[in-house]
Chains A and B, each alone.
Chain A
Amino acid sequence: MVELAIRTELLVKDYGSTRAVDRLDLEVRRGEVFGFLGPNGSGKTTTIRLLLDLIRPTSGRAEVLGLDPQNNGVALRERIGYLPGDFLVEGRQSAVQLLTFLGNLRGGVAAARIEELAQRLDLDLDRKIRELSKGNRQKVGVIQAFMHEPELLVLDEPTSGLDPFLQHEFAALVRETTAAGRTVFLSSHVLSEVQEVADRVAVIREGALVTVEDVEDLLARSGRRVEILFDRPVDEREFFDVPGVSQVRAHGSSLHCRLEGRADDLVKRAALHTVVTLSVEQADLEDLFFGYYDRSGEVDDAD
């Protein structure tokens, strides 16, 4: 049996009559990078806060690193690094003061370790927190989550506010973590932010699990949005039979469609005309969800 870093069983969290987390079953394996995807307000943060015992479940249970968060919260949190979705701290202290204090709550973190991470992320540790930009503040958050080399990292929207260079550095940190056999659980509302680092992703919507699958499968399934601009109007019907292409719409001389799998057939068909520009982008998560709902609808129809 695979050892699990996180397991939830029928986890439920209600706020009054609102169900924030709905009978969630999750299994995160040790040593993997697990992406937790869902639109804003879908219950990602609530789930994470349940795992850390910041809030208590209405019913169901969670087990993190083999421990029950409610009964073994302190022992558990010793082994976790956590980056909140909103990294808010007192602004009149310097970054190094804050990081030293947080390290001391864990029995101390070497100053050299903090400096090394700050250097990697290009953060001036002596600046006051309130003087830092949102991106630099987020770096402080990333450092405090990683600095004590925890067994499990729980990161709520870690890359929000980080520029591409830092996203890259962040991805490197995550890879080093898992190379050492440790586990990373990170949430996002954008697939593109996690696809680079995550092995598997869970998608949740309105508190309930939609799917768990390998990132590669999800990417293949989610398809891409393709827009082709020709030098003159084209007839969209010409593209209906291209393999992997769906949702074809033409507006004047531009053509929009959704593409799954290889782009070869579409490119060759388009090349029958004069192509001015061509853009391809990852279908966003909302598209992906609609994809799921379409799909399940189709299955229902077929039944």
Chain B
Amino acid sequence: MLTSIFSKGLWDSRRSLLGWTVAIVAVGCGYSAFWPTIDRPEIQEALDSYPQGLLDALNYDDISTAAGYLTASVYGLVVAILLVVYAVSAGARAVAGDEEAGRLDLIAAHPVSRTRLGLQRCAAVLVSVILVSFIFWLAMLALASPANFDDISVAQFAAMHLHLALFGGFFGALTYAVGAATGARSLALGTGSAVAVLGYLANGIIPTVDGLEWVENLSPFGWLTGSDPLRNGVDVADCALMGGLAMLLVAIGTWVFNRRDIAV
């Protein structure tokens, strides 16, 4: 565990990683296990009586199927938000957090290039996000039969969790990049939070305004659930967009990190 900056990064984040994995699995499965309760005529009738605009804003456009319910309330909401909080804070900590704590000097004075230092720290964050998504995937597969959503296939779940990992990875890459480029942890956290909030609004509230439906295409939350991966499988365009943007951000952040002074 103490052999490289990458493995040390993962090892040092093990407590936070374990905590967030437990939280995401518990909350995600808790909400998912609620499906049999929702899937009753009286609830569906109640939902039908809500104004369509409100349902759209909450992304409750298709809550009468398990896939629709899970997409709207689990993947598009609680799990997405928890994963964003984890990825944003881990990404901001990767370089900027250590730097503000005055710990980066020592590592950077060792025979490692800035590029290697930055990329390995970032890789540790991205791998941890993938790990959370993977463990949550296993938990959902185990829950599928008892919670009555076994009409969703293993592959469909896998597609959803691939989207989820890329979505979390995008936010981790974003805050890593801002932190690596500037050394300011709070700026990285602020940028990550702002993108998350605006992205959430752009996927639910803003498109309810006539003429602004296109905004949904700019939202990471739209890239996460807009194509309905639980029904339609992997959306190559959305995945390529999230992965491509993440790589671009990592490249830019590392490039600037390579050229700037490390703060004392």
Q: Name A residues whose Cβ lies closer than 8 Å to a Cβ of B.
A: 45, 49, 52, 54-56, 73-75, 77-78, 80, 82, 84, 86-90, 93, 97, 100-102, 104-106, 144
Contact = CB atoms under 8 A, between A and B. Distances in A.
Given A54-B262, A77-B110, A105-B110, A49 B105 contact: yes
Interface stretch (B2-10, B34-42, B213-221): B2-10
Interface string B103-116: 10111111111000
Given A54-B108, A86-B102, A105-B5, A74 B113 contact: yes
A105 B116 CA distance: 11
B113 A73 contact: yes
19 contacts: A52-B108, A55-B262, A75-B111, A78-B111, A82-B109, A84-B106, A86-B102, A87-B106, A88-B101, A88-B102, A90-B103, A97-B2, A100-B2, A101-B2, A101-B3, A101-B8, A105-B4, A105-B5, A106-B110
- The winner among B2, B12, B102 for most chain A CB atoms within 10 A is B2
B237 interface: no
Nearest to A154: B109
Contacts of B262: 49, 54-55
Interface in B216-264: 259, 261-262, 264
B86 to A, nearest CB: 19
Contacts of A78: 111
A200 B4 CA distance: 38
Contact of A80 (B3, B12, B109, B113): B109
Interface of B: 2-5, 8, 12, 101-103, 105-113, 259, 261-262, 264
B103 A45 contact: no
B109 A52 contact: yes
A104 B3 contact: yes
A97 B8 CA distance: 10
B110 A102 contact: yes
B109 A77 contact: yes
Contacts of A105: 4-5, 107, 110-112
B113 to A, nearest CB: 5
Nearest to B113: A74
B79 to A, nearest CB: 28
A87 B12 CA distance: 18
Given A54-B261, A87-B106, A106 B111 contact: yes
A80 B106 CA distance: 12
Nearest to A97: B2
B71 to A, nearest CB: 39
Contacts of A77: 109-112
Nearest to B8: A101
B204 to A, nearest CB: 39
A104 B4 contact: yes
B112 A74 contact: yes
A287 B110 CA distance: 37
Given A74-B113, A101-B2, A105-B5, 9 more contacts: A54-B262, A55-B261, A74-B111, A84-B109, A88-B106, A102-B110, A104-B2, A105-B111, A105-B112
A75 B111 CA distance: 7
A297 B221 CA distance: 71
A88 B259 CA distance: 23
A78 B109 CA distance: 9
A90 B200 CA distance: 35
Query: Which of B102, B108, B109, B113 counts the most chain A CB atoms within 10 A?
Result: B109
Nearest to A80: B109
A91 B77 CA distance: 35
- Which residue among B4, B103, B111, B113 has the maximum number of chain A CB atoms within 10 Å of its CB? B111
Tell me which of A54, A73, A97 has the highest count of chain B C-beta atoms within 10 A of its own C-beta. A54
Nearest to B259: A56
Contacts of A144: 106
A54 B105 CA distance: 7
Nearest to B105: A84
A49 B260 CA distance: 13
Contacts of B259: 56
A46 to B, nearest CB: 9
Contacts of A73: 113
Given A77-B110, A77-B111, A56 B261 contact: yes
A116 to B, nearest CB: 20
Contacts of B110: 77, 102, 105-106
Contacts of B112: 74, 77, 105
Contacts of A54: 105, 108-109, 261-262
Contacts of A89: 103, 106
A81 to B, nearest CB: 9
Contacts of A87: 106
A227 to B, nearest CB: 39
Contacts of A56: 259, 261
A80 B112 CA distance: 12
B94 to A, nearest CB: 13
A259 B256 CA distance: 55
Contact of B264 (A45, A90, A93, A106): A45
Shortest 4 CB-CB distances between A and B: which pairs? A55-B261, A78-B111, A101-B2, A82-B109
Most interface-central of B105, B261, B262 (chain A CB within 10 A)? B105
